[in-house]
Amino acid sequence: FGVLGMMIMVSSTNFITIFIGLEVMSIAVYVLCGLLSGNPRSVEASLKYFLLGAFATAFLLYGMALIYATTGSLDIREIADYVASGNFKPTPMFMIGLAMLIVGFGFKTASVPFHMWTPDVYQGAPTSITAYMATGIKAAAFGAFLRVFYTAFLPFIGEWSGILWLIAVATMTLGNITALVQDDVKRMLAYSSIAHAGYILIAFVIGDQFSSSSILFYVLVYTFMNIGAFTVVILLGQKDRENTGIESYAGLAGRHPLIALSMAIFLLSLAGIPPLAGFMGKFYILSAAIKAKYYWLAVIGVLNSVVAVYYYLRVIMAMYFREPSGELHRPDFSPAYSIVIVISVWALFHMGLFPRDFLLIARKSIGIFM
Protein backbone atom coordinates (compact mmCIF):
# COMPACT_ATOMS: atom_id res chain seq x y z
CA PHE A 1 0.00 0.00 0.00
CA GLY A 2 2.85 2.36 0.79
CA VAL A 3 4.46 1.90 -2.62
CA LEU A 4 1.06 2.26 -4.31
CA GLY A 5 0.57 5.56 -2.51
CA MET A 6 3.98 6.78 -3.65
CA MET A 7 3.19 5.89 -7.26
CA ILE A 8 -0.13 7.73 -7.10
CA MET A 9 1.55 10.79 -5.55
CA VAL A 10 4.21 11.27 -8.21
CA SER A 11 2.03 10.36 -11.21
CA SER A 12 -1.02 12.48 -10.37
CA THR A 13 -1.87 15.86 -11.85
CA ASN A 14 -4.83 16.50 -9.58
CA PHE A 15 -4.71 17.69 -5.97
CA ILE A 16 -7.31 15.14 -4.87
CA THR A 17 -5.39 12.13 -6.19
CA ILE A 18 -2.11 13.56 -4.86
CA PHE A 19 -3.75 13.79 -1.44
CA ILE A 20 -5.15 10.24 -1.70
CA GLY A 21 -1.72 8.92 -2.66
CA LEU A 22 -0.16 10.77 0.26
CA GLU A 23 -2.65 9.31 2.73
CA VAL A 24 -2.34 5.75 1.40
CA MET A 25 1.44 6.02 1.74
CA SER A 26 1.31 7.65 5.18
CA ILE A 27 -1.17 5.24 6.77
CA ALA A 28 0.94 2.27 5.69
CA VAL A 29 4.07 3.85 7.17
CA TYR A 30 2.32 4.71 10.47
CA VAL A 31 1.63 1.00 10.88
CA LEU A 32 5.12 -0.08 9.79
CA CYS A 33 6.80 2.27 12.29
CA GLY A 34 5.06 0.48 15.16
CA LEU A 35 5.74 -3.00 13.81
CA LEU A 36 7.81 -3.92 16.88
CA SER A 37 4.88 -3.64 19.28
CA GLY A 38 6.97 -4.91 22.18
CA ASN A 39 9.51 -2.11 21.74
CA PRO A 40 8.44 1.17 23.42
CA ARG A 41 10.59 3.21 21.01
CA SER A 42 8.86 1.67 18.01
CA VAL A 43 5.41 2.41 19.43
CA GLU A 44 6.52 5.96 20.28
CA ALA A 45 7.86 6.45 16.75
CA SER A 46 4.57 5.31 15.24
CA LEU A 47 2.46 7.54 17.49
CA LYS A 48 4.70 10.58 17.01
CA TYR A 49 4.76 10.19 13.24
CA PHE A 50 0.98 9.71 13.15
CA LEU A 51 0.16 12.79 15.23
CA LEU A 52 2.60 15.14 13.52
CA GLY A 53 1.82 13.63 10.11
CA ALA A 54 -1.90 14.24 10.56
CA PHE A 55 -1.18 17.85 11.54
CA ALA A 56 1.01 18.39 8.45
CA THR A 57 -1.57 16.72 6.21
CA ALA A 58 -4.17 19.19 7.46
CA PHE A 59 -1.92 22.05 6.35
CA LEU A 60 -1.47 20.47 2.93
CA LEU A 61 -5.19 19.86 2.47
CA TYR A 62 -6.12 23.37 3.59
CA GLY A 63 -3.50 24.80 1.22
CA MET A 64 -5.06 22.84 -1.65
CA ALA A 65 -8.49 24.19 -0.67
CA LEU A 66 -7.24 27.79 -0.71
CA ILE A 67 -5.58 27.30 -4.11
CA TYR A 68 -8.86 25.86 -5.41
CA ALA A 69 -10.77 28.83 -3.98
CA THR A 70 -8.58 31.30 -5.87
CA THR A 71 -8.07 29.43 -9.16
CA GLY A 72 -11.27 27.38 -9.45
CA SER A 73 -9.46 24.13 -10.30
CA LEU A 74 -7.80 21.16 -8.61
CA ASP A 75 -5.89 20.09 -11.73
CA ILE A 76 -2.32 21.38 -11.62
CA ARG A 77 -2.13 21.79 -15.41
CA GLU A 78 -5.31 23.87 -15.44
CA ILE A 79 -3.97 25.88 -12.52
CA ALA A 80 -0.74 26.42 -14.49
CA ASP A 81 -2.70 27.73 -17.50
CA TYR A 82 -4.78 30.00 -15.30
CA VAL A 83 -1.77 31.33 -13.38
CA ALA A 84 0.18 31.92 -16.61
CA SER A 85 -2.66 33.97 -18.12
CA GLY A 86 -2.30 37.70 -17.88
CA ASN A 87 -5.56 38.03 -15.92
CA PHE A 88 -4.32 36.34 -12.74
CA LYS A 89 -2.80 38.24 -9.84
CA PRO A 90 -1.73 36.45 -6.64
CA THR A 91 -4.07 37.30 -3.78
CA PRO A 92 -3.27 36.94 -0.05
CA MET A 93 -5.44 33.79 0.02
CA PHE A 94 -3.42 32.32 -2.87
CA MET A 95 -0.11 33.07 -1.13
CA ILE A 96 -1.34 31.57 2.15
CA GLY A 97 -2.36 28.43 0.27
CA LEU A 98 1.07 28.29 -1.35
CA ALA A 99 2.73 28.62 2.07
CA MET A 100 0.59 25.80 3.47
CA LEU A 101 1.59 23.54 0.58
CA ILE A 102 5.24 24.24 1.44
CA VAL A 103 4.54 23.29 5.08
CA GLY A 104 2.89 20.01 4.05
CA PHE A 105 5.60 18.98 1.61
CA GLY A 106 8.28 20.27 3.99
CA PHE A 107 7.11 17.80 6.63
CA LYS A 108 7.26 14.82 4.27
CA THR A 109 10.72 15.83 3.00
CA ALA A 110 11.97 16.46 6.59
CA SER A 111 12.92 20.05 5.86
CA VAL A 112 13.62 22.53 8.67
CA PRO A 113 11.59 23.65 10.62
CA PHE A 114 9.24 20.72 9.89
CA HIS A 115 11.84 18.06 10.68
CA MET A 116 11.39 17.51 14.42
CA TRP A 117 9.82 14.07 13.99
CA THR A 118 12.67 12.66 11.91
CA PRO A 119 15.41 11.67 14.45
CA ASP A 120 13.08 9.99 16.96
CA VAL A 121 11.01 8.21 14.31
CA TYR A 122 14.05 7.03 12.34
CA GLN A 123 15.73 5.76 15.51
CA GLY A 124 12.63 4.10 16.97
CA ALA A 125 11.33 2.40 13.83
CA PRO A 126 12.78 -0.95 12.70
CA THR A 127 15.90 -0.27 10.62
CA SER A 128 14.40 -1.76 7.47
CA ILE A 129 11.43 0.60 7.82
CA THR A 130 13.78 3.51 8.50
CA ALA A 131 15.57 2.76 5.22
CA TYR A 132 12.20 2.64 3.46
CA MET A 133 11.20 6.00 4.93
CA ALA A 134 14.55 7.68 4.26
CA THR A 135 14.49 6.70 0.60
CA GLY A 136 11.03 5.89 -0.73
CA ILE A 137 8.99 8.44 1.18
CA LYS A 138 11.49 11.23 0.63
CA ALA A 139 11.78 10.46 -3.09
CA ALA A 140 7.98 10.40 -3.52
CA ALA A 141 7.54 13.60 -1.52
CA PHE A 142 10.17 15.45 -3.55
CA GLY A 143 8.65 14.10 -6.76
CA ALA A 144 5.20 15.42 -5.87
CA PHE A 145 6.70 18.69 -4.57
CA LEU A 146 8.58 19.15 -7.84
CA ARG A 147 5.59 18.35 -10.01
CA VAL A 148 3.18 20.66 -8.19
CA PHE A 149 5.46 23.68 -7.88
CA TYR A 150 7.26 23.45 -11.22
CA THR A 151 4.06 22.73 -13.16
CA ALA A 152 1.47 24.93 -11.46
CA PHE A 153 3.42 27.72 -9.78
CA LEU A 154 6.59 28.24 -11.82
CA PRO A 155 5.42 31.66 -13.15
CA PHE A 156 5.45 32.86 -9.53
CA ILE A 157 8.81 31.37 -8.59
CA GLY A 158 9.88 34.81 -7.39
CA GLU A 159 7.13 34.65 -4.77
CA TRP A 160 8.19 31.34 -3.22
CA SER A 161 11.86 30.86 -4.10
CA GLY A 162 12.94 33.23 -1.31
CA ILE A 163 11.16 31.09 1.29
CA LEU A 164 12.75 27.93 -0.09
CA TRP A 165 16.16 29.68 -0.09
CA LEU A 166 15.89 30.19 3.67
CA ILE A 167 14.52 26.68 4.25
CA ALA A 168 17.35 25.14 2.18
CA VAL A 169 20.03 26.98 4.17
CA ALA A 170 18.42 26.16 7.52
CA THR A 171 17.89 22.51 6.56
CA MET A 172 21.48 21.97 5.40
CA THR A 173 23.04 23.79 8.33
CA LEU A 174 20.93 22.45 11.18
CA GLY A 175 21.01 18.90 9.83
CA ASN A 176 24.80 18.84 9.55
CA ILE A 177 25.56 20.64 12.81
CA THR A 178 23.24 18.38 14.82
CA ALA A 179 24.67 15.26 13.17
CA LEU A 180 28.14 16.21 14.45
CA VAL A 181 27.27 15.29 18.04
CA GLN A 182 25.35 12.06 17.42
CA ASP A 183 26.76 8.79 18.78
CA ASP A 184 24.04 6.60 17.26
CA VAL A 185 24.47 5.75 13.58
CA LYS A 186 20.72 5.61 12.84
CA ARG A 187 20.21 8.99 14.47
CA MET A 188 23.23 10.38 12.62
CA LEU A 189 21.81 9.14 9.32
CA ALA A 190 18.48 10.75 10.24
CA TYR A 191 20.09 14.17 10.61
CA SER A 192 22.13 13.42 7.49
CA SER A 193 18.87 12.87 5.58
CA ILE A 194 17.67 16.27 6.80
CA ALA A 195 20.86 17.89 5.48
CA HIS A 196 20.49 16.15 2.12
CA ALA A 197 16.95 17.50 1.84
CA GLY A 198 18.57 20.93 2.11
CA TYR A 199 20.91 20.21 -0.80
CA ILE A 200 17.95 19.14 -2.94
CA LEU A 201 16.05 22.31 -2.02
CA ILE A 202 18.92 24.37 -3.48
CA ALA A 203 17.82 23.16 -6.91
CA PHE A 204 14.17 23.92 -6.13
CA VAL A 205 15.05 27.60 -5.69
CA ILE A 206 16.40 27.90 -9.24
CA GLY A 207 13.50 26.67 -11.35
CA ASP A 208 15.10 25.75 -14.68
CA GLN A 209 15.41 22.45 -16.56
CA PHE A 210 18.98 21.75 -15.45
CA SER A 211 18.13 22.21 -11.78
CA SER A 212 15.03 20.00 -12.04
CA SER A 213 17.10 17.28 -13.76
CA SER A 214 19.67 17.64 -10.97
CA ILE A 215 16.93 17.00 -8.41
CA LEU A 216 15.98 13.67 -10.01
CA PHE A 217 19.62 12.65 -10.36
CA TYR A 218 20.37 13.52 -6.73
CA VAL A 219 17.30 11.68 -5.43
CA LEU A 220 18.37 8.56 -7.35
CA VAL A 221 21.91 8.76 -5.97
CA TYR A 222 20.63 9.49 -2.46
CA THR A 223 18.43 6.39 -2.62
CA PHE A 224 21.34 4.05 -3.35
CA MET A 225 23.56 5.69 -0.72
CA ASN A 226 20.99 5.31 2.04
CA ILE A 227 19.75 1.85 1.09
CA GLY A 228 23.35 0.63 1.20
CA ALA A 229 24.17 2.32 4.51
CA PHE A 230 21.01 1.11 6.24
CA THR A 231 21.55 -2.43 4.91
CA VAL A 232 24.90 -2.50 6.71
CA VAL A 233 23.20 -1.23 9.88
CA ILE A 234 20.68 -4.08 9.58
CA LEU A 235 23.48 -6.61 9.04
CA LEU A 236 25.25 -5.55 12.23
CA GLY A 237 22.08 -5.77 14.32
CA GLN A 238 20.95 -8.70 16.44
CA LYS A 239 17.56 -10.29 16.87
CA ASP A 240 17.14 -8.96 20.41
CA ARG A 241 18.65 -5.50 19.85
CA GLU A 242 20.08 -3.21 17.19
CA ASN A 243 23.78 -2.33 17.35
CA THR A 244 23.52 1.25 16.17
CA GLY A 245 26.03 3.01 18.42
CA ILE A 246 29.23 4.19 16.73
CA GLU A 247 31.19 2.12 19.27
CA SER A 248 29.54 -0.99 17.78
CA TYR A 249 31.47 -0.32 14.57
CA ALA A 250 34.88 -0.22 16.26
CA GLY A 251 37.28 -2.74 14.72
CA LEU A 252 34.80 -3.79 12.03
CA ALA A 253 37.44 -3.58 9.28
CA GLY A 254 39.56 -6.22 10.99
CA ARG A 255 36.71 -8.68 11.50
CA HIS A 256 34.55 -8.06 8.42
CA PRO A 257 36.60 -6.06 5.91
CA LEU A 258 34.10 -6.24 3.04
CA ILE A 259 31.25 -4.90 5.17
CA ALA A 260 33.49 -2.12 6.50
CA LEU A 261 34.64 -1.24 2.98
CA SER A 262 31.05 -1.13 1.73
CA MET A 263 29.97 1.09 4.62
CA ALA A 264 32.95 3.39 4.00
CA ILE A 265 31.93 3.72 0.33
CA PHE A 266 28.36 4.63 1.28
CA LEU A 267 29.49 7.18 3.86
CA LEU A 268 32.08 8.75 1.55
CA SER A 269 29.44 9.05 -1.16
CA LEU A 270 27.08 10.71 1.32
CA ALA A 271 29.93 13.11 2.14
CA GLY A 272 30.35 13.92 -1.56
CA ILE A 273 33.83 12.49 -2.10
CA PRO A 274 34.82 11.78 -5.75
CA PRO A 275 34.67 9.58 -7.76
CA LEU A 276 31.47 8.41 -6.08
CA ALA A 277 28.00 9.44 -7.25
CA GLY A 278 27.35 11.59 -4.19
CA PHE A 279 30.00 14.01 -5.44
CA MET A 280 28.39 14.31 -8.87
CA GLY A 281 24.95 14.83 -7.33
CA LYS A 282 26.20 17.78 -5.29
CA PHE A 283 28.29 19.02 -8.20
CA TYR A 284 25.28 19.27 -10.50
CA ILE A 285 23.12 21.01 -7.90
CA LEU A 286 25.82 23.51 -6.95
CA SER A 287 26.64 24.08 -10.63
CA ALA A 288 22.97 24.90 -11.24
CA ALA A 289 23.07 27.39 -8.36
CA ILE A 290 26.21 29.08 -9.72
CA LYS A 291 24.79 29.14 -13.25
CA ALA A 292 21.67 30.89 -11.91
CA LYS A 293 23.90 33.34 -9.96
CA TYR A 294 22.89 32.05 -6.52
CA TYR A 295 26.50 32.34 -5.42
CA TRP A 296 25.89 32.57 -1.67
CA LEU A 297 23.62 29.55 -1.76
CA ALA A 298 26.36 27.58 -3.54
CA VAL A 299 28.99 28.72 -1.01
CA ILE A 300 26.77 27.70 1.91
CA GLY A 301 26.21 24.33 0.24
CA VAL A 302 29.96 23.76 -0.14
CA LEU A 303 30.65 24.75 3.49
CA ASN A 304 27.96 22.38 4.71
CA SER A 305 29.45 19.57 2.64
CA VAL A 306 32.81 20.18 4.32
CA VAL A 307 31.19 20.04 7.77
CA ALA A 308 29.43 16.78 6.88
CA VAL A 309 32.73 15.04 6.13
CA TYR A 310 33.59 15.07 9.85
CA TYR A 311 30.69 13.00 11.15
CA TYR A 312 30.89 10.48 8.31
CA LEU A 313 34.61 10.06 9.00
CA ARG A 314 33.86 9.37 12.67
CA VAL A 315 32.23 6.07 11.70
CA ILE A 316 35.00 5.23 9.21
CA MET A 317 37.69 6.00 11.79
CA ALA A 318 35.93 3.74 14.29
CA MET A 319 35.78 0.89 11.78
CA TYR A 320 39.44 1.12 10.74
CA PHE A 321 41.40 2.67 13.61
CA ARG A 322 39.70 1.64 16.85
CA GLU A 323 39.77 -1.64 18.70
CA PRO A 324 36.42 -3.27 19.49
CA SER A 325 35.27 -2.83 23.09
CA GLY A 326 33.67 -6.27 23.14
CA GLU A 327 33.00 -9.28 20.96
CA LEU A 328 31.54 -8.27 17.60
CA HIS A 329 28.23 -9.72 16.47
CA ARG A 330 28.64 -12.06 13.52
CA PRO A 331 26.47 -10.65 10.69
CA ASP A 332 23.94 -12.82 8.90
CA PHE A 333 25.24 -12.86 5.32
CA SER A 334 21.97 -13.63 3.60
CA PRO A 335 21.99 -13.45 -0.23
CA ALA A 336 19.40 -10.65 -0.22
CA TYR A 337 21.55 -8.30 1.88
CA SER A 338 24.65 -9.13 -0.13
CA ILE A 339 22.88 -8.40 -3.43
CA VAL A 340 21.58 -5.06 -2.13
CA ILE A 341 25.05 -3.98 -0.99
CA VAL A 342 26.76 -5.08 -4.22
CA ILE A 343 24.18 -3.32 -6.42
CA SER A 344 24.39 -0.15 -4.32
CA VAL A 345 28.20 -0.05 -4.47
CA TRP A 346 28.17 -0.68 -8.22
CA ALA A 347 25.52 2.02 -8.78
CA LEU A 348 27.46 4.64 -6.81
CA PHE A 349 30.66 4.02 -8.77
CA HIS A 350 28.85 3.78 -12.11
CA MET A 351 26.84 6.97 -11.62
CA GLY A 352 29.91 8.72 -10.25
CA LEU A 353 32.13 7.82 -13.20
CA PHE A 354 29.48 8.00 -15.94
CA PRO A 355 26.89 10.50 -14.69
CA ARG A 356 26.03 12.08 -18.02
CA ASP A 357 23.82 9.22 -19.21
CA PHE A 358 21.78 9.32 -16.01
CA LEU A 359 21.46 13.11 -16.17
CA LEU A 360 20.16 12.83 -19.74
CA ILE A 361 17.60 10.25 -18.60
CA ALA A 362 16.59 12.62 -15.79
CA ARG A 363 16.22 15.44 -18.31
CA LYS A 364 13.98 13.32 -20.57
CA SER A 365 11.96 12.28 -17.52
CA ILE A 366 11.41 15.92 -16.62
CA GLY A 367 10.08 16.54 -20.13
CA ILE A 368 7.52 13.76 -19.65
CA PHE A 369 6.98 14.40 -15.95
CA MET A 370 6.14 18.07 -16.24
Q: What is the mean pLDDT of residues 92-101?
A: 88
Residue range 170-176: mean pLDDT, rounded: 91
Query: Lowest-confidence range among 8-17, 245-254, 318-327?
Result: 318-327
Could you give phi then psi for residue 251, rounded to 5 degrees? 75, 10
Domain count, the chain: 1
Task: At 114, give phi and psi (nearest 5°).
Answer: -105, 25
Q: What is the pLDDT of residues 247-269, one digit of tens each?
A: 878 878 888 888 889 999 999 99
- The domain in which residue 96 lies consists of 2-369
Band of pLDDT at residue 170, cut at 50, 70 and 90 = very high
Q: Which tens digits make up the pLDDT trace of 300-319?
A: 999 999 999 999 998 898 88
User: Which of these, 99, 292, 118, lies nearest to 198 by C-alpha position?
Assistant: 118
Amino acid at 191: Y
Instruction: Kindly tell me if the per-residue pLDDT of 329 is higher than 70.
Output: no
Q: What is the pLDDT of residue 51?
A: 83
Per-residue pLDDT band at 327 (split at 50, 70, 90) = low
Digit-coded pLDDT (tens) for 199-208: 999 988 887 8
| Model confidence band, residue 155 (pLDDT cutoffs 50, 70, 90) | confident
Q: What is the pLDDT of residue 293?
A: 87
What does 305-348 look like in DSSP terms, one character per residue? HHHHHHHHHHHHHHHHHS--SSPPP-----HHHHHHHHHHHHHH
Distance CA 309, CA 316 (A): 11
Model confidence at 240, pLDDT cuts 50, 70, 90, reads low
The pLDDT mean for the chain works out to 84
State percent of the chain over pLDDT 70: 94
| Residue predicted with more confidence, 236 or 192 | 192
**Whole-angstrom Cα distance, residue 303 to residue 233?**
28
Q: What is the mean pLDDT of residues 55-62?
A: 88
Q: What is the mean pLDDT of residues 278-289?
A: 90
